[in-house]
Amino acid sequence: METDEKTSTLVKPKAKTKRPPLYKVLLLNDDFTPMDFVVLVLKRFFSKSQVEAEKIMLEVHNKGAGVAGVFPFEVAETKVFIVNEFSRRNEHPLKCIMEKETETEGS
């Protein structure tokens, strides 16, 4: 700690706050879930526009998975649960998972 000469008070150095780890929420491709349902999920639960949702849906379809969003742990966990439950209730096998974002991905 340093002493401030003018007021004779101690000045505590500022602590650096570390950003919480972020998690990617991914939708996984399957052969049965309609593309329109995937777009609906992206718009409803991830606030994507029609164009953004279609782009991500095509990535899921063509590459096997697509990133719906990146969130702190609790938010990602909740979104995964809600999407999987919504898919199940609508009798679609669409799966949603989360994985920790690596340092290079987030920077």
CATH number of the domain enclosing 77: 3.30.1390.10
Sheet holding 22-28, edge to edge: 65-72, 22-28, 95-100
Q: Is residue 2 part of a domain?
A: no
Q: What is the mean pLDDT of residues 46-69?
A: 99
Q: Is residue 7 part of a domain?
A: no
State pLDDT tens for residues 10-43.
Answer: 777 777 888 889 999 999 999 999 999 999 999 9
What is the domain count for the chain?
A: 1
Distance of CA 23 to the CA centre of its chain: 6
Is the pLDDT score of 46 beyond 60?
yes
pTM over 0.75: yes
Where does residue 50 fall: left (phi above 0), alpha (psi -120 to 50 degrees), or beta otherwise?
A: alpha
The bridge status of strand 95-100 relative to strand 9-11 is: unpaired
Phi, psi of 16 (to 5 degrees): -80, 130
Task: Supply the range of the domain harboring residue 61.
Answer: 30-98
Q: Which helix (H) or strand (E) holds 44?
A: helix 35-46
